[in-house]
Amino acid sequence: MEFMEVINYLARWGHYVFGIAWIGLLYYFNFVQGGFAANASDSTKVELFTKLVPTALWYFRWAAMLTFLTGLVLLYFVHSAGTLSGGLLIGGLMATIMFLNVWLVIWPNQKIVIASNESVAGGGEADPGQAAAAAKALLASRTNTFLSLPMLYLMGSTVHGGLSGSAWNQPDVAFWVLLVIVLLIEANALFGKTGPLTTVKGVIGSSVVLTVVVMAVLAWL
């Protein structure tokens, strides 16, 4: 096996491992921890955000970083092989947006929430900006969950399911339609409200619907 083949293999393996860790923690935060915190006492919330959440967020954000970096390596190999497609690019765009949401929205705002709870734990006052920061982090996290199913569909089906899409140098109508949809979703993540993504059932259902829309656009446009 040649050196570049080894790098390709290791990048692909690492992408799977880090991706599982990232999306697994994303689902933990949205499906498990969120529901627990909503019904927990104030003292339990303080303990949660001073002892468990900082550690979980460390693994979360670095899993996202390593998933993104190994994804860039794989993108190089796919492009070199001439198999880069519109579907894979849209999936990569979704993953990139999710990565940026982690580092530029979720983590900065969660640091405010953590610091506020640490202040309370030390006998001080809560940060008055905690609620707003938590809301921003929640919207970005819900958006990442919303994008996760269609992103995984595009990544998996493009590589393993025979979905080729259009090449990057020949973007078709489907590519542009999906690009607009993804950008509108991210605009809402930055400036909008959670809406139907507020509940766990809502975000799961919305993600399934978005996946079906992606499949339909690629099949019929």
Structure token pair of residue 146 = 């919303």
Alpha-carbon distance of 20 to 63, in angstroms, equals 9
pLDDT digits (tens, 9 = 90+) for 27-86: 999 999 999 999 999 999 999 999 999 999 999 999 999 999 999 999 999 888 877 888
Write down the pLDDT at residue 213: 97
Q: What tens digit of pLDDT does each residue of 82-118 get?
A: 778 888 899 999 999 999 999 999 999 999 999 999 9
The strand pairing partners of 22, in sequence order, are: none
pLDDT band of residue 166 (cuts 50, 70, 90) is very low
State mean pLDDT over 2-20. 94
Residue type, 159: V
Question: What's the pLDDT score for residue 171?
Answer: 67
User: What is the rounded average pLDDT of the residues 12-31?
Assistant: 98
pLDDT, one tens digit per residue, over 111-161 is 999 999 999 999 999 999 999 999 999 999 999 999 999 999 998 876 655
Report how far residue 72's alpha carbon sits from residue 52's, in angstroms, rounded to the nearest whole number: 31
Instruction: Give residue 69's pLDDT.
Output: 98
DSSP 197: G
Q: Which residues contact 116 (CB under 8 A, 6 or more apart)?
A: 126, 127, 129, 130
**For the chain, what percent of residues have pLDDT higher than 70?**
93
What is the band of 165 on the pLDDT scale with cuts at 50, 70, 90?
very low
pLDDT of the residue at 159: 62
Per-chain mean pLDDT for the chain: 92
**Can you tell me whether residue 172 is helix, strand or coil?**
coil
Residue 163 has pLDDT above 80, yes or no: no
For residues 119 and 117, what is the distance between their CA atoms, to the nearest angstrom? 5
Cα-based distances in Å from 101 to 140, 185, 210: 6, 12, 19
